[in-house]
Structure 1
Amino acid sequence: MSDSGRKLERLVEAVERQFVADGFSVEVRKREYDEEGRQSAEFDVVVSGRLGSTTVSWLIECRDRPSEGPAPSSWIEQLVGRRGRFNFNKVTAVSTTGFASAATRYAQEQGIELRTVDALDEDEIQNWFKVSNLQLFSHKGEFSKAEIRLEDPIQLEVKDLAKAAVQEAGASTKILKDRHGNEMSVLDAWTHTLNQNPHMFAGVSPVGDPEFRRLFVSFKEPEDQYVITTEAGDATVVGIVFEAKLAVEVREVPISEATRYSLVESGEALAESIRFDVEVRGQPFELGVHRLVQDGRTFIAVRGSSKAATSS
């Protein structure tokens, strides 16, 4: 499936999660296997759970093929077959290009629910979303010097060997170990420090030059400390002094897409959604802002894109 098709699935999943009752699951790209363990089918979105004393299963299939025009009746025929073969209680077809008249008639005859996802322009979302760009702040830090502070008291031989190891090592040399035994470099420790301490960037202007700062990072808790292993024993690292340049960058991310998710038969709009495609540390993500039309509730869903999890 194309990347746009995956985006459609994720949009439907995000919205349907807000509608389902507690105890129901919403799964994307659910795979079905035969008795011999071979994959026999893959479903776009499956909603399932207990209703009273029984279990219900709802299949939602998505179609995003702009070059092929309205969804044909042959697709509805396939969904009717899937409903019977895999025992779904309900099947819904979602299309970004509408449905051919024959497909609409056949769906009504067979009880296949039809829904559409249509593009909106910015004027149509101004009543609830008044910005056209997302401001993305990125914290960046580059250290030029690091001083390792060791626990005191410490045996002189261990101290000397640990200091020698630090002096000989490069920034990427894994001379440290955390309390779980994972080997790490000073650069790894710096990256971890940046990720865990955003307050270090307080006062750094996004419009000015990078700021030079001398930062003492203290590892007070034993679980936060590192050790340097030497021939004479382990030296505990209780702090690192970094000399570094810190910068804050701001990027304007435009709206990638605005859509409305609707029922075909009644024309009722279920949700309006806005998607931003953002990149964080080289990884692509989708940030979706969704508004449920019925009650006006708005929620945010963040997902790694198909090139790269959801929170709300």
Structure 2
Amino acid sequence: MRTVRVTSRTREAEDVVSFVLSGEDLPSWEPGAHIDVEIRSGLIRQYSLCGDDAGWRIAVLREENGRGGSRYLHDHISVGDTLRVSEPRNNFPLIAAEKHIFVAGGIGITPLLPMLARARDWTLFYGGRHRSRMAFLAELARYGDRVRVLPEDEHGLLPLADIFADGDAPVYCCGPEPLLAAAERLCPPYRLRVERFHARELDAEPARGFEVLASASGKTVQVGAEQSILDALDLAGIPMPSSCREGTCGTCETPVLDGEVEHLDSVLSAQEREAGKTMMVCVSRARSNRLVLDI
């Protein structure tokens, strides 16, 4: 973690504030990257970098029913204050293509903003409950009719079936869970990349115990039915890097050498889950009786 200073705070929409962060030798980053922000001890949240690649900017939606992280940033962080943040990580990279389709719902616009400046030919469909709650509209205006602003109270829900029927271009989608779930139903998996801010809603298999072999140390670790692999490894003296502990940040991604994984994360694509080469050990589990991990 590193310490950064808040050099700008801007109201971007109703209940949305952006913060520009500065510090010594901030590393460069690519569109789709996010950082962990330490709100207070034990409370860490992930925010997409949404400025240009020369600086760090995040935008925070105030969530009244959350665990307090966004409320704290809104109520207590001002210009001149410092924050502890991680290095950028990217689970949502922009893949080069002749054309892209971007779909944003509400604060889901944030990881897509830097992509618009990098992509060649693209269209953005941007939805939200009300225009007043949709951030960065003035910033997006410079792109003209490539941006379709479609507030729900004016246009209804985003017409996803029509959007995805437009050719074979890759689709990048970020927003609330109902939007992402609908996109996953309607868009072919090979075209779709999504970014989740919260864990996806899943019908997990009944929990049961299994064992994990840590190949580097040769240790075999028993994982209980109500225990995560991450916690079991930690108790066995094999600490793993972690942050969100709900399968959304990608910090604990671990190579899988053998065994079948029950993927419960919100990071990997459908193709990556099917390949089974890596897993998020904070939430995902074993379908087989044993997993061999490259740790």
Q: In terms of Rg, which structure is larger?
A: 1
TM-score, with structure 1 as normaliser: 0.23
Q: Which structure features the higher share of strand residues?
A: 1
